[in-house]
Structure 1
């Protein structure tokens, strides 16, 4: 089952995508926050009863509220109706309603890819510094998710992912 916080995350990614399509220059820090949120949500889901996981959920809620406020401020530029449609989706998700369907877990493709985003997964021979990966992600305006030390999922515009993959290419041989 998909958690309400995952629904909220999907809605925020969809809103971010729509704002970018409308030409809004959203700071790269928002992409970074959204990427880290997905990783944190997955971390929490591993054991929802563990005290460290509960602390992680508290942190996720703080960051998700910050991102939500920032994106809704940008949405306001396109009128009250536009902004209210996103607020309605977020409200429905917070009440546990399924706004987006849960991804098929048996799919051969990346699960959890945000609506309208392309995705890719890379497997490195050896781990690389998270700072370097985050730098490539920010520069190319993509969202990253670490699955483990050597597996990274990429989400974003197809062309941006292609450019990022070319930047990751030298790490495949290390």
Structure 2
């Protein structure tokens, strides 16, 4: 697992914990984290290709932006809380595995963040990314496009069930 993937898992966990603590986090952070995971997966397809290296550079910039935002909220909780998250990120940057990634034959479930439920949707035809992100933000989920008609969803089990009801009309189209 790449250090950036470990950082992504830590930031997802931090975001989840901050929301559980009642922090009002902008929904744009969910979208950014979702897009970041897509960028990381894109890079991993061929890490030596120049386009992939550019994608990795963009992912590093984006993860730093998300990290700065979330750590700002963590600092509001208290100093020890903030220091704990800084320590996790520091250790991950040094190559330590903070969160283990689940072993699975399924490509999708293997990437699920710790403590998150997941689902995969196969549509008959592609739908708008904007509409998909709107549903993700409303139900506080992370959405990853595997291809034009396959969508991976991460989040709270109950929120995934509600989101699937929103996606239901697209199954028949």
State whether TM-score is above 0.5. Answer: yes
Query: Secondary structure of the residue that 2:125 maps to in structure 1?
Result: coil
How far apart are the structure 2 equivalents of 1:85 and 1:135? 32
In structure 1, the partner of 2:37 is 38
In structure 1, the partner of 2:55 is 56
Query: Secondary structure of the residue that 1:111 maps to in structure 2?
Result: helix
Q: TM-score, normalising length from structure 1?
A: 0.95
Query: Secondary structure of the residue that 2:109 maps to in structure 1?
Result: coil
What is the root-mean-square deviation of aligned Cα atoms in Å?
1.3
1:127 to partner: Cα distance: 1.1
How far apart are the structure 2 equivalents of 1:80 and 1:108? 38
In structure 1, the partner of 2:113 is 114
How far apart are the structure 2 equivalents of 1:107 and 1:128? 24
How far apart are the structure 1 equivalents of 2:26 and 2:59? 19
Structure 1 residues 57 and 109, CA gap change in structure 2 (3 angstroms): closer
How far apart are the structure 1 equivalents of 2:92 and 2:100? 12
CA deviations over 1:73-129 (Å, ceiling 9, x no partner): 111122111111100000011111111113213258712111222111111111111
In structure 1, the partner of 2:19 is 20
> Contact conserved, 1:146 with 1:153, CA < 8 A, in 2?
yes
> Contact conserved, 1:31 with 1:141, CA < 8 A, in 2?
yes
In structure 1, the partner of 2:89 is 90
In structure 2, the partner of 1:141 is 140
> Contact conserved, 2:108 with 2:152, CA < 8 A, in 1?
no
Which stretches in structure 2 are left out of the alignment for 5+ residues? none
* Further displaced range: 22-31 or 125-134: 125-134
> Contact conserved, 1:17 with 1:116, CA < 8 A, in 2?
no
Which stretches in structure 1 are left out of the alignment for 5+ residues? none
Q: Does 1:99 align with 2:102?
A: no
Q: TM-score, normalising length from structure 2?
A: 0.96
Q: How many residues align?
A: 173
